[in-house]
């Protein structure tokens, strides 16, 4: 149970003071429900963690790839966040939501010229340059336009965070960023400093996702500073911004034990301040980029239960009216979730079942071993918890399933923020063949 989730006297799951059974009746299923109070609380905890470091300047950029819709971007903007986008589509969404351009940062390893032109037209805050060809293209485009752009360079620091451990081998083999250890990063700094139109504000790194320890951040920061020390003296490069990325772990299931956000921020800031003191450098502005840790736990997907198949001695499958089309994470990376029977949340959940989706793939299983009440049956409502990140944003139309609706709930009010797609929407861009009258 997360945020404002409660179980009512009627045995129903409530979110934001609203009965999920009522939500399902009104908006249909599958339905993505977001607890906006919980998102705001997550944002506040990031801000509070930074506020303790009174001498520090900082920015929290919401990584919009986790969940990007007009309403979500508006919420992020209203709460003073900056914004990461990784494509023209995410940038377009941000601009249409009226997000202040100067707080938008553009990421990605293969930004097209059109996408870069969009970013230049909008005069966004920074482009995080990922590779030499981008550095070159952006420099040329700025020269042609007589326009300047602030940039960060994405550094691959040779530290890769893996859920519970980090590895120090094989880490340099990634499509992202300028590698630190083989001199690519140094060459990029040199080229960026020489550019007339690109203003090198600082460096960026992002070591992974669903991280449960501070050690990876500490190592990445130390690795960057071991070079910064040299670059400052050799190239007169002064880093005004250090962006350490996102990836702060969340509690998908009872076996996840995320650190309080303050622990991450303290470790990051303390390490940066320590390195700066050691090398006599001034402390840069610190940027972070949380995605899932803002929206993940706030999202719940409601499904209606349909058919079931009991294989004696093996397992019992229960199928829901969605699946991999609205949540690809279990099929894509064996992600685990927990679920509640939303219309009998007060009954003991002691039957172990497998929650399957309705797509034509054996791998379309949402939860391998979910605990549901004995009396669980067709027509019941299932709430899969913690689906707010990379669920809607990774949704597909596989099997021509229309994308579900998204509602925000808070203080007893529900607002629809994405309408459910219709069958008509599915064929909207299809172009039928002309009749084959002349065919033999
Ligand atoms: C995906 C990504 C993030 C956000 O990761 P979360 O695990 O959602 O916090 C931040 N920065 C970059 C560069 C990313 O690619």
Q: Is the pLDDT of residue 437 over 80?
A: no
Asked whether the predicted pLDDT for residue 167 surpasses 70, the reply is no
333 is in an annotated binding site: yes
Res 247: pLDDT: 96
Residue 291 marked as a ligand binder: yes
Cα of 35 vs centre of ligand 1, distance in Å, is 21
**248 CA: nearest ligand 1 atom:** 9
Cβ atoms 32, 63 nearer than 8 A:
no
Q: Rounded to the nearest whole angstrom, what is the distance from the C-alpha of residue 422 to the centroid of ligand 1?
A: 31
**Mutational pocket test of ligand 1: of 246, 290, 293, the residue with most ligand atoms within 8 Å of the beta carbon:** 246
Confidence (pTM): 0.96
Q: Could you give the C-alpha distances from 154 to 86, 128, 304, 323, in angstroms and in order?
A: 13, 6, 44, 35
Do 6-34+298-426 and 52-295 have matching folds?
no
List the structure tokens of 234.
């050799």
Ligand 1: lining residues by beta carbon, under 6 Å: 63, 65-66, 84, 107, 206, 209, 245-248, 289-293, 389
Query: Using alpha carbons only, what angle is made at residue 363 by residues 207 and 69, rounded to the nearest 5 degrees?
Result: 55
Q: Any idea what the Cα angle at residue 270 is, between residues 268 and 273, rounded to 5°?
A: 105
Q: Is the pLDDT of residue 313 over 80?
A: yes
pLDDT of residue 206: 95
**Token pair for residue 220?**
């990445």
Tell me if 196 is assigned to a ligand binding site.
no
| 390 labeled binding residue | yes
- Inform me whether the pLDDT recorded for 229 exceeds 70: yes
pLDDT of 125-139, one tens digit each? 999 999 999 999 999
- Spatial contact of 21 and 29, defined as CB atoms under 8 Å apart: no
Percent of the chain clearing pLDDT 90 (strictly above):
94
Position 173 scores a pLDDT of 82
- Given a contact cutoff of 8 angstroms between Cβ atoms, the answer to whether 61 and 288 are in contact is yes
Candidate from 59, 62, 63, 155 with most ligand 1 atoms within 8 A of CB, to mutate:
63
* Mean pLDDT of the residues in the chain: 95
CA–centroid distance, 83 to ligand 1, in Å, is 11
The reply to whether 329 sits in an annotated binding site is: yes
Give the CA diameter of the chain.
81
Q: Would you call 341 a catalytic residue per the annotation?
A: no
Token pair 């083989």: residue: 182
What is the average per-residue pLDDT within 412-429? 98
Nearest alpha carbon, ligand 1 atom 7:
247
Banded pLDDT at 439 (limits 50, 70, 90): low
pLDDT tens track for 43-85: 999 999 999 999 999 999 999 999 999 999 999 999 999 999 9
Characterize the bridge pairing of strands 198-204 and 165-167.
unpaired
- The architecture CATH gives domain 52-295: Alpha-Beta Barrel (3.20)
Burial class of 248 by CB neighbour count within 10 A (0 to 12, 13 to 18, 19+): buried
CATH architecture of 6-34+298-426: Beta Barrel (2.40)
Between the CA of 100 and the centroid of ligand 1 the distance, in Å, is 20
Q: Which residues pair with 18 in a beta bridge?
A: 15
> Is residue 170 pLDDT above 70, yes or no?
no
- Which residue from 61, 175, 247 has its CB within 8 A of the most atoms of ligand 1, so it is best to mutate? 247
Q: What is the pLDDT of residues 319-353, one digit of tens each?
A: 999 999 999 999 998 999 999 999 999 999 999 99
In 3-state terms, what secondary structure has residue 162? Answer: strand
| Residue 6 CA to ligand 1 centre (angstroms) | 30
**Looking at residue 172, what is its pLDDT?**
76
Looking at residue 162, its pLDDT comes to 64
The residue extents of the domains of the chain are 6-34+298-426, 52-295
Active-site residue identified among 205, 341, 360, 386: 360
Element spanning 357, H or E:
none
How much is the pLDDT for 341? 97
How confident is the model over 2-14, as a mean pLDDT? 97
Mean pLDDT of 304-314: 96
> For position 166, what pLDDT does the model report?
56
């Amino acid at each position: 149970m997360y945020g404002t989730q409660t179980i009512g006297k009627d045995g129903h799951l409530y979110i934001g003071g609203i009965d999920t059974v009522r939500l399902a009746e009104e908006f249909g299923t599958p339905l993505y429900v977001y607890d906006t109070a919980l998102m705001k609380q997550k944002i506040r905890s990031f801000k509070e963690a930074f506020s303790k470091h009174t001498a520090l300047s900082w920015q929290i950029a919401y990584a919009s790839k986790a969940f990007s819709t007009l309403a979500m971007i508006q919420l992020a903007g209203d709460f003073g966040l900056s914004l990461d986008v990784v494509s023209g589509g995410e940038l377009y969404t941000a601009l249409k939501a009226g997000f202040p351009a100067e707080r938008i940062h553009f990421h990605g390893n293969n930004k097209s010229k059109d996408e870069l032109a969009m970013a230049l037209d909008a005069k966004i805050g920074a482009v995080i340059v990922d590779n030499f060809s981008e550095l070159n293209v952006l420099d040329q485009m700025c020269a042609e336009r007589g326009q300047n752009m602030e940039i960060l360079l994405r550094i691959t620091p040779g530290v890769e965070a893996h859920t519970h451990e980090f590895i120090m081998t094989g880490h340099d083999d990634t499509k992202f960023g300028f590698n630190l250890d083989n001199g690519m990063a140094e060459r990029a700094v040199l080229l960026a400093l020489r550019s007339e139109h690109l203003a090198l504000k600082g460096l960026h790194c992002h070591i992974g996702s669903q991280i449960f320890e501070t050690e990876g951040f500490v190592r990445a920061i130390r690795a960057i500073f071991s070079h910064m020390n040299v670059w400052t003296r050799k190239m007169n490069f002064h880093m005004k911004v250090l962006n350490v990325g996102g990836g702060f772990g969340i509690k998908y299931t009872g076996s996840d034990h995320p650190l309080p956000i303050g622990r991450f921020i303290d470790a990051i800031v303390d390490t940066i301040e320590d390195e700066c003191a050691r090398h006599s450098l001034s402390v840069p502005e610190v940027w972070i980029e949380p995605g899932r840790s803002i929206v993940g736990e706030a999202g719940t997907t409601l499904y209606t239960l349909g058919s079931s198949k009991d294989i004696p001695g093996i397992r019992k499958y229960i199928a829901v009216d969605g699946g991999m089309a609205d949540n690809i994470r279990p099929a894509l990376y064996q992600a685990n979730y927990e679920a509640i029977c939303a219309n009998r949340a007060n009954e003991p959940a002691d039957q172990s079942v497998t929650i399957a989706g309705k797509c034509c793939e054996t791998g379309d299983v949402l939860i391998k071993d979910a605990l549901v009440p004995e009396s669980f049956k067709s027509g019941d409502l299932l709430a899969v918890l913690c689906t707010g990140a990379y669920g809607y944003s990774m949704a597909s139309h596989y099997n021509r399933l229309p994308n579900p609706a998204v509602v925000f709930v808070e203080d007893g009010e529900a607002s629809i923020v994405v309408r459910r797609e219709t069958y008509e929407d599915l064929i909207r861009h299809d172009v039928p063949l002309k009749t084959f009258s002349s065919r033999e």
